[in-house]
Amino acid sequence: MKRWRQVPFDEQAAHRLAGQLGLPVPVAAVLVGRGCQDPEQAERFLRPRLSDLCDPFQIPGMAEAVCQILEMAHNGGDVVVYGDYDADGVCGAALLADVLNALGVKARTFLPRRRDEGYGLTGKGLSRCLEAGRPELLITVDCGTSSVAEVRRLRADGMRVVVTDHHEPAGAVAEADAVVNPRLGSPEAAQWLAGAGVAFRLCHALVKKSREDGRVARDVDLREWLDVVAIGTIADVVPLVGENRILARHGLSRLSDKPRAGLAALMEAAGLRRGEVSAGRVAYWIAPRLNAAGRMADADTALRLLRESDSSRARELARELDRANRQRQAVENAMLEEAEAQVARSACSPGTFGIVAAGDGWHVGAIGIVAARLCGRYHRPAVVIAFDENGRGRGSCRSVEKVNMVEVLSGCRDALVGYGGHAMAAGLEIERANLEAFVQQFNRLCGERLSGLEDLQCIRVDALADPSEIDGAFLQANRLIQPCGCGNPEPVYAATDVRIVGAPRVLKDRHLKLLVGAGGRNLEAIWFNMAGSGVPAGEVDMAFAVDENWFMGESFLQLRVEDIRPADRASVGELSR
């Protein structure tokens, strides 16, 4: 049985905030538990404004980067935007190239190929990039901070380099003409920006400086790119707090109301209606399709989709991405089955804190999503490594919130060829001979950072909520906590002595559909992937999220069950409303 853990909060402060803002007490309890105790602070959280973004020139390296780029605009120099093959890097490259073109900069884009060129500024990637011509300025997106040798080579060959990135440095920082990376000392709210977010703030700075100098920038409306920024931010699993929350909230609104042609086509291909947009649906429906291009073949397809203005051509590209995503799913399922066979027994043992699976010939385009699946299933940091015929492995890492993956990999660096990334997701290279040493060190370092295996699988409960009080107004208030994800998890409520009405129905042989008694009416609830589990007889305690479900274009309130257990007042008595 899973353990439930109460998120601590000040009950009096929750009641006071509920009265001040007209919120249901359980929703106010969520805010207080997340550090929003006074009304002004809570309002900024619930209704984030673009005007709350910091001055972009407070981000390290921004002034130098703007100077370099606007000099190119003035002199007519050629510029290359060098992105990455994942959704964040593609989104950032698309918006930066579009804005540069709008400002009169001659910019072309380049994305490395995952399988043979690898992440970031690699020798192979740069060689192919420069075959199309040597630019006067190369701007990276979502990479480059630790590319010391590659940046030195470019500058020695007479090119200027501006790095825009968000990954934590793995050692020395590249000596570029400018390095724009919020991890190097930005205001706290901007420190967790994704690669697309950093590119957006660079665009903000460029437009701001251009307008101050009387350059052509009046017709550039950066809000038109917020949908792209939101997708890159959500896809990269960065904390949805601070500036990420602002950009994601406004970007999701743009995606719902007025998406660009390519994203509208991709939503159509995914079967996602505009009104159904949320961070979760972007993460599970949109981001995988954008990522599929870079995982299975060439990320340029995703880039072209984001920059396409013709609806019919956008639909063709969206269908191509949808096919790539189905191919990715087939490869992923086969790899996941093999990985599960490796780790299933050890993952549940008391001494296992970090999971490592490795295979010969595994598709490097699928290792990231397999790592994410293992991490989600076992609630532990996970690494999946694909070895090639020469014994060189490339690994993808996913983490839980208590473990900073880059810190752990830094502690394993003696066993690695290289590594990089951020707290929740990273990558590595390793020789087969060092695998066993890495596994032992990785597990030890993960264990040092985790308080106990029981905590990894416990249910975090934000507050008690009586089902009879959950209605449309509650749903609307709860929705203001969105977007939810890393750093801002979806609120989980608990109810005691709940009555399940009638027998549960099984949906698609996998899920349970329940009716929950709620003060003279019944609420629909769904318990995913629990068709093989019985619901306890009699009254129960239930942990759940409050969801908005859609069917045939209509929305309705639905509880999404996290756990059900026999009613036990003693064990939930400490949960406060």
What pLDDT shows up at residue 576?
A: 39
In contact, 33 and 26? CB cutoff 8 Å: no
| Cα angle, residue 24 at apex, residues 516 and 27 outer, rounded to 5° | 85
In contact, 143 and 114? CB cutoff 8 Å: no
- The CATH number of the domain holding residue 515 is 2.40.50.460
| Tens-digit pLDDT profile for residues 249-259 | 999 999 999 99
Structural domain including 155 reads: 52-322
Report yes or no on 343 lying in a domain: no
Say how far apart CA 390 and CA 360 lie, in whole Å: 10
| Tens-digit pLDDT profile for residues 136-185 | 999 999 999 999 999 999 999 999 999 999 999 888 999 999 999 999 99
Instruction: Please write down the HEC assignment for all residues of 97-145.
Output: HHHHHHCCCEEEEECCCCCCCCCCCCHHHHHHHHHCCCCCEEEEECCCC
Same domain for 476 and 520? Answer: yes
Report yes or no on 339 lying in a domain: no
For 331, the 3-state DSSP assignment is: helix
- β-bridge mates for residue 356, sequence order: 383
Residue 553 tokens, joined:
């274009």
Same domain for 415 and 555? Answer: no
- The CATH number of the domain holding residue 359 is 3.10.310.30
Q: Which of 456, 476, 494 is the last residue of a domain?
A: 456
- Which of 386, 558, 462, 408 has the alpha carbon at shortest distance from 24? 462
- Which of 521, 535, 524, 423 has the alpha carbon at shortest distance from 192? 423
Same domain for 304 and 363? Answer: no
Mean pLDDT by 10 residues, the chain (577 residues): 86 97 98 95 97 97 97 92 96 97 93 89 94 96 95 97 94 96 93 97 96 80 97 95 98 96 97 89 95 91 98 98 95 95 79 92 93 91 96 96 93 94 92 97 93 70 95 96 95 94 88 89 92 85 91 82 86 49
Same domain for 66 and 162? Answer: yes
Same domain for 192 and 310? Answer: yes
In contact, 274 and 254? CB cutoff 8 Å: no
Say how far apart CA 483 and CA 226 lie, in whole Å: 14
pTM greater than 0.85: yes
Nearby residues of 500 by Cβ (< 8 Å), 6 or more positions away: 514, 515, 516, 517, 535, 540
Report yes or no on 26 lying in a domain: no
Distances (CA, A) of 58 to 64, 196, 202, 206: 12, 17, 11, 13
Same domain for 293 and 401? Answer: no
Report yes or no on 493 lying in a domain: yes
Same domain for 236 and 356? Answer: no
What pLDDT shows up at residue 273?
A: 87
What pLDDT shows up at residue 348?
A: 67
In contact, 289 and 270? CB cutoff 8 Å: yes
Say how far apart CA 435 and CA 356 lie, in whole Å: 9
* Secondary structure letter of residue 529 according to DSSP: T
What pLDDT shows up at residue 454?
A: 55
What pLDDT shows up at residue 119?
A: 86
Domain count within the chain: 3
Nearby residues of 422 by Cβ (< 8 Å), 6 or more positions away: 166, 167, 168, 183, 236, 238, 405, 406
| Tens-digit pLDDT profile for residues 45-58 | 999 999 999 999 99
- β-bridge mates for residue 543, sequence order: 494, 563
- The CATH number of the domain holding residue 208 is 3.90.1640.30
* Secondary structure letter of residue 518 according to DSSP: E
What is the amino acid identity at position 89? Answer: G
| Tens-digit pLDDT profile for residues 307-361 | 999 999 999 999 999 999 999 999 999 999 999 999 987 776 777 899 999 999 9
In contact, 404 and 423? CB cutoff 8 Å: yes
Q: Which of 439, 456, 473 is the last residue of a domain?
A: 456
Q: Which of 456, 489, 515 is the last residue of a domain?
A: 456
Residue 408 tokens, joined:
């752990």
In contact, 310 and 261? CB cutoff 8 Å: yes
As a residue count, the chain comes to 577
Same domain for 309 and 182? Answer: yes
Say how far apart CA 165 and CA 184 lie, in whole Å: 10
Q: Is residue 239 reached through a cis peptide bond, with omega within 30 degrees of 0 on the bond before it? A: no
Same domain for 108 and 196? Answer: yes
Distances (CA, A) of 320 to 235, 301, 383: 20, 8, 29
Say how far apart CA 277 and CA 292 lie, in whole Å: 20
What pLDDT shows up at residue 577?
A: 37
In contact, 282 and 267? CB cutoff 8 Å: no
Report yes or no on 84 lying in a domain: yes
What pLDDT shows up at residue 562?
A: 94
Same domain for 519 and 436? Answer: no
Same domain for 423 and 467? Answer: no
Report yes or no on 547 lying in a domain: yes
Report yes or no on 41 lying in a domain: no
Report yes or no on 116 lying in a domain: yes
- Which of 386, 374, 368 has the alpha carbon at shortest distance from 343? 374
Q: Is 371 left (phi over 0), alpha (psi -120 to 50) or beta?
A: alpha
Chain centre to alpha carbon of residue 305: 20
- Which of 335, 337, 344, 422 has the alpha carbon at shortest distance from 387? 335
Say how far apart CA 461 and CA 454 lie, in whole Å: 15
Same domain for 317 and 383? Answer: no
